[in-house]
Amino acid sequence: MTNIAAARSASTGTSAERLRTDPTYQAFWLLRIAFTVAPVTFGLDKFSGLLTDWDRYLAPAVDRLVPGTAHQAMLAVGVIEIVAGITVAVLPRFGGYLVAAWLGGIIVNLLLLGDFFDVALRDVGLMLAALTLARLAVAVNAPNRSGR
């Protein structure tokens, strides 16, 4: 039996069996963990600023559109990122799309800023990975809102 055939037959087994043998299930969990931990971590850091000065990543055009200061906008961003990470943990089919859309907004903001093109390109890759997570959630039959 090939590895793929073994993985497919394991898809009906327990989660532990699937995690040991099914590459699709393994990829799903790697992405699910990453897109839970990263947004929550970056969201929390908006409040502490240990990693960077997040305010400098807000394009002036976007800053003019949102009420309050750039710092206040970044605090709101932090809350949204935390919610997105928790959504991935609980509802990965939806959360993957939510994170992908959020990353799309970040990419647009960075392009408007006219700087940090390297970060924007990295975020394109992350957006594609978040879309992959959403599709993998369907492939591995991760529960959706109704529990099916």
Total Cβ atoms within 10 A of residue 26: 16
Provide the percentage of residues in the chain whose pLDDT is more than 90: 77
- Kindly list the domain boundaries of the chain, sorted by start residue: 3-139
pLDDT given for residue 19 in this prediction: 79
For residue 85, give every residue at least 6 positions away whose Cβ sits within 8 Å of its Cβ, in sequence order, or none.
35, 36, 37, 38, 39, 40, 41, 43, 99
Check residue 142 and give its pLDDT: 62
Whole-angstrom distance, CA of residue 135 vs CA of residue 148: 15
Give yes or no for a contact between 126 and 34, defined as CB atoms under 8 angstroms apart.
no
Predicted TM-score (pTM) of this structure: 0.83
Structure tokens at 81: 């990122």
Interval 70-118: pLDDT, tens? 999 999 999 999 999 999 999 999 999 999 999 999 999 999 999 899 9
| Token output for 48 | 């502490």
